[in-house]
């Protein structure tokens, strides 16, 4: 990739000319990717209505229901960083370029190469996962994933799903569920994530919003995509089923009146290890069963993953 | 006039050379340390005040103000973080040395390390390394033979800049400095800077609680604690563990 187009791009001259405007631009550039997580838990409002029936809406984005992570594999990520560094170093500095120009050129070059590298890593991983995408498409046409998800959500204990027809007066609460599955870059694990939003239909406001995440135990990598696709994607749907069963447990825990309020587990650094090594995660440990750890992370999300506490 | 210029240039060169001191290389703890069991060890873990925000790179005064303003929300969040997990290191180190059979005394006073006198290096060839500060007075004061000092160096957030242009995302950092000194001669028996840093998993700019960076910060803190203990471990023990695996 040629970066010679950056030569002669005198960004500092532009900056000097614009004066105060550039400062604002800098602030904007830095602040533009700000995100905030609304972890809403209006306890009274929701507990009082929790035993009422709620309308359920499952938002299935069939095209993006399954995706592949581009950044999971640390080895590939390190190689990408190396290629960025090499590419940048190969660009000769513009004669007379000041530090500001070099900095701007570096930022632009880095983002461009990073975007390209991310894209190619993602394409490579997605190509390997194509058989699973194709199999899943066939099953989606039959409505299988949605049926599995709906089946599990109907078994929730503390928010009961009622008739979907709001015209008949049901319901005071509306539950909107967005399920997503992400296959790790090395094809070894699935991350099943359910974005869960509860709205008060009378007031028309969101009273609870959170994500429930289940990371499968790592599969043997040498089996590759076959692990997930063999026997009509038996392992894939098995993992999805197991994940949703656990996610419903997490949702039930979240809405179980006795478990909330004064007895909230303390936030601490949780130490655990699994096949991939030792890790630290800040959050509240909720429970550990069958070498699986369930915690509430600092974003408020409930997450379940494989590991032994240290 | 010409000779005056030469003298000025020479003086500048001498000054510049003098300023750039040779950095102290790490000194690993040798297994021979554990052979002398009758030595009393003082352990001093300097308290951590509060995490800070560090700007790296070419940052001028105006840039500093801009960068500080942009990062003010993250900085104030980090300044308020609970760092009591760092204090656990004192107990961990104590237990670690006790298990090896050492006689340990935890020093709870403020040793005011920065105020200590510089120790003149008696070995300019650097075949043996000596601590920069003169710790020898503590031998008599606390009745100890060796002193282990650990203090925080850079703790909080760091971000690279060129002026006010960020060159990358901020990362959570935790860096401590540690040295073990023989108080009979101020010789360094162990010397290390232990640094761990983590970028946010997912977005970093999530005010007001910055969960990704905060998680990275606590992970770095734990990693540093583990790393310090590993570096102070008897190598024979480490080797034995590897053999078992």
- The whole-number pLDDT of residue A244 equals 95
Residues of chain A found within 8 Å of residue B206, distances taken between Cβ atoms: 34-37, 299
Of A27, A37, A280, the CB nearest to B206: A37
Q: CA torsion angle for A245, A251, A254, A256 (degrees, to 10)?
A: -80
From CA B168, how far away is CA A99, in angstroms rounded? 16
- The whole-number pLDDT of residue A201 equals 80
From CA A280, how far away is CA B87, in angstroms rounded? 17
Residues A30, B166: C-beta atoms closer than 8 Å: yes
In this structure, how many other beta carbons lie within 10 angstroms of the beta carbon of residue A9?
A: 15
Of B165, B214, B222, the CB nearest to A280: B222
Residues A34, B207: C-beta atoms closer than 8 Å: yes
- pTM reported for the whole predicted model: 0.79
Going residue by residue through chain A, which has 310 residues, state the pLDDT in tens, using 9 for 90 and above: 333 333 333 434 333 433 433 444 444 444 444 444 445 554 444 555 555 678 888 999 988 899 988 664 555 555 555 555 555 555 555 566 666 666 667 666 776 777 777 777 778 888 888 999 999 999 999 999 999 999 998 888 877 776 555 555 667 788 899 999 999 888 888 999 999 998 888 778 888 889 999 999 887 767 788 889 988 899 999 999 999 999 999 998 888 766 555 566 789 999 999 887 889 999 999 999 989 999 999 998 999 999 999 8
Of B165, B168, B203, the CB nearest to A35: B203
Dump pLDDT digits (tens) for B16-56.
Answer: 544 456 688 899 999 888 887 688 999 999 999 999 999 99
From CA B123, how far away is CA A127, in angstroms rounded? 62
The DSSP code for A276 is: T
Taking the CA atoms of chain A, what radius of gyration do you get in angstroms?
24
- The whole-number pLDDT of residue B239 equals 52
Residues A104, B215: C-beta atoms closer than 8 Å: no
Asked whether residue B6 carries a pLDDT value surpassing 70, the answer given is no
CB of A67 closer than 8 Å to CB of A85 = no
Locate B39 and state its tokens: 């030595």
> Nearest to residue B122, comparing CAs of B110, B114, B113, B134?
B134
From CA B130, how far away is CA B112, in angstroms rounded? 19
- The whole-number pLDDT of residue A282 equals 95
């Amino acid at each position: 990739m040629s970066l010679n187009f950056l030569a002669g791009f005198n960004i500092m001259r532009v900056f000097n000319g614009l004066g105060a405007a550039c400062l604002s631009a800098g602030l904007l550039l830095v602040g533009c990717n700000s995100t905030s997580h609304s972890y809403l838990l209006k306890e009274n409002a929701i507990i009082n209505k929790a035993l009422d029936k709620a309308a359920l809406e499952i938002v299935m984005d069939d095209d993006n229901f399954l995706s592949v992570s581009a950044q999971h594999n640390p080895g590939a990520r390190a190689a990408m960083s190396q290629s960025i560094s090499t590419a940048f170093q190969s660009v000769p500095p513009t004669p007379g370029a000041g530090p500001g120009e070099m900095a701007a050129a570096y930022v632009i070059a880095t983002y461009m190469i990073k975007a390209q590298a991310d894209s190619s890593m993602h394409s490579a991983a997605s190509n390997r996962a194509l058989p699973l995408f194709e199999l899943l498409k066939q099953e989606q046409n039959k409505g299988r994933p949605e049926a599995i998800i709906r089946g599990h959500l109907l078994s929730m204990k503390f928010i009961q799903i009622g008739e979907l027809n709001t015209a008949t007066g049901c319901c005071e609460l509306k539950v909107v569920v967005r399920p997503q599955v992400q296959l790790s870059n090395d094809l070894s694990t699935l991350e099943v994530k359910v974005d869960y939003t509860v709205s008060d239909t009378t007031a028309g406001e969101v009273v609870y919003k959170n994500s429930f995440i289940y990371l499968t135990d790592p599969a043997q990598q040498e089996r590759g995509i076959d692990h997930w696709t063999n026997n009509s994607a038996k392992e894939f749907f098995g993992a999805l089923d197991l994940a949703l069963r656990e996610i419903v447990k997490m949702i039930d825990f979240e809405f179980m009146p006795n478990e909330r309020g004064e007895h909230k587990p303390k936030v601490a650094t949780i130490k655990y290890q699994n096949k991939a090594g030792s890790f630290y995660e800040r959050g509240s440990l909720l429970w550990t069963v069958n070498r699986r750890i369930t915690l509430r992370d600092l974003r408020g999300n409930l997450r379940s993953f494989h590991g032994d506490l240290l | 006039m010409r000779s005056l210029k030469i003298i000025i240039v020479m003086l500048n060169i001498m000054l510049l050379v003098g300023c750039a001191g040779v950095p102290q290389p790490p000194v690993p703890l040798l297994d021979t340390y554990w052979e002398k069991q009758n030595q009393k060890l003082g352990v001093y873990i300097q308290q951590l005040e509060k995490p800070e925000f560090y700007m790296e790179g070419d940052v001028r005064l105006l840039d500093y103000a801009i960068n500080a303003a942009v990062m003010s929300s993250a900085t104030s969040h980090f300044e308020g973080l609970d760092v009591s997990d760092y204090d656990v290191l004192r107990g961990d180190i104590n237990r670690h040395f006790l298990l090896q059979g050492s006689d340990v005394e935890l020093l709870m006073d403020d040793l005011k390390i920065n105020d200590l006198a510089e120790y003149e290096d008696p070995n300019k060839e650097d075949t043996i390394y000596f601590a920069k500060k003169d710790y020898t007075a503590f031998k008599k004061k606390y009745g100890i033979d060796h002193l282990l000092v650990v203090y925080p160096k850079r703790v909080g957030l760091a971000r690279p800049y060129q002026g006010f242009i960020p060159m990358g995302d901020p990362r959570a950092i935790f860096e401590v400095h540690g040295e073990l000194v023989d108080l009979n001669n101020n010789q360094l028996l162990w010397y290390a800077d232990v640094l761990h840093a983590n970028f946010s998993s997912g977005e970093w700019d999530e005010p007001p609680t910055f969960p990704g960076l905060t998680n990275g910060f606590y992970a770095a803190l734990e990693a540093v604690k583990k790393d310090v203990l590993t570096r102070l471990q008897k190598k024979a023990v480490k080797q034995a563990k590897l053999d078992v695996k």
